[in-house]
Amino acid sequence: MTEQKLTPICYVVSDSIGETAELVVKATSSQFNSGNCELRRVPYVSDKETIKEVIEEAVNFNCMVAYTLVDPDLRSFMEKITQEYQVEAVDIMGPMLDSFEKVMQREPRLQPGLVRKLDESYFKRVDSIEFAVKYDDGKDPRGILKADVTLLGVSRTSKTPLSMYLANKRLKVANLPLVPEVKPPKELYQIPSHKVIGLVINPYKLNEIRKERLKTLGLKSQANYANMDRILTELDYAEEIMKKIGCPTIDVSNRAVEETAQKILDMIRGGKDNDFDG
């Protein structure tokens, strides 16, 4: 008769969501032939009573406990009670915290869930960058309704570089070129004026920029794109649209992208720190 082996049970106890401990348990169990392990996650543990309840339940099974607790008091209690009940337990984060404290010679912050918060910040930044690419240069006007801010301006007013810079600050930015021959999309008039920022520029500065752009493309600087009359027409049209919307404007003539971006951030947050400043 073949001996039936019991599937081990592992209680994953954490003061956050318990994802770190679960990954370690899964990676470890995969090193054994069957790799089977029943996981029972107990997240957001913040008191000793919960820990005691888990251990009293765990002692009735063929089990172990893997835990990530940053609070030294809770970790100490977990170590004591698992020894008392003779439950196999592994402190996944404690030894690493102790080692870091010795090397860095300062105490840890002892805040649960910081890794998850960092991950959320990272993914929000990625999401914002993807948004900026998707709704760049008026590709899809529906992005205007979803954006934290929409940038308006004629060609070569740094709309795209600004969008990408602000995306790295976790801002969802759409940008729209203003061309006299193209009527602005209706979405532009469906959002509050404070969520739109107009980029204006000195016509002579724009003339220089456009001439340089034509050179890089191997085209003649006399093209209509860099013609002063054409530039003045575009700027007058852009000013008309911006006044109609009632949006704030920023003169980008002699500003670096970083400087303009900071001014936009200041305008959005009203002088107060928020999630966009990261």
Does residue 193 have a known ligand-binding role?
no
Residues 65 and 55 sit within 8 Å (Cβ to Cβ): yes
Does residue 156 have a known ligand-binding role?
yes
Does residue 121 have a known ligand-binding role?
no
54 CB neighbour count, 10 Å cutoff: 22
Does residue 117 have a known ligand-binding role?
no
Does residue 153 have a known ligand-binding role?
yes
Does residue 138 have a known ligand-binding role?
no
Does residue 113 have a known ligand-binding role?
no
Does residue 160 have a known ligand-binding role?
yes
Annotated binding site: 153-160
Annotated binding site for ADP: 153-160
